Amino acid sequence: MSRIERSLYHLEALFRTLNGKFGDDEEIEFSVAHFLSNFPPWENEQLACVYEHLRRAISPAIESVCLNDPKWLGFLAGAEQSPEEGLIQTFLSKGLISAHTVVKAGSIERRKEILGTPAKHDSTDA
């Protein structure tokens, strides 16, 4: 098994451990730290590189939805992190199959269907 394949398996295991959650929550940080403590530092570096590649791959897909849907744009306007970062992390934490599906989606409408409604969006729903 190649190092990249191993990193992909580790990422999927981490995503399943997080159960679709991501962020600065102490429980999540503890879970991630505990998970990463099971691997040598060089494997964690590989994991970080693969994660960064996935983040860069999914970013344009999510950005295309955000720029074409007022609900998504409103969600991003209230984000504490850089525009799409929290959304990208949250979506990636749903797993590799979800990430692959949204990246390969042929249209913005299909991407919106896959992504659903922004969970924290509440500024224009009232």
Residue 120: its pLDDT value, please? 55
3-state secondary structure of 121: coil
Q: How many domains does the chain have?
A: 1
The DSSP output letter for 105 is -
Domain boundaries, position 74: 3-115
- The answer to the question of residue 102 being in a domain is yes
Q: What is the pLDDT of residue 37?
A: 94
**Quick check: is 56 in a domain?**
yes
Return the residue matching tokens 């897909």.
61
Domain membership flag for residue 122: no
Write out the chain's pLDDT in tens, 126 residues: 788 888 889 988 888 887 766 666 788 788 888 989 999 999 999 999 998 998 888 888 888 888 888 777 766 665 555 556 677 777 787 888 888 898 899 888 888 888 877 665 344 443
d(CA 101, CA 49): 21
Domain membership of residue 85 (yes or no) is yes
**pTM for the model:** 0.73
Domain presence at residue 90: yes
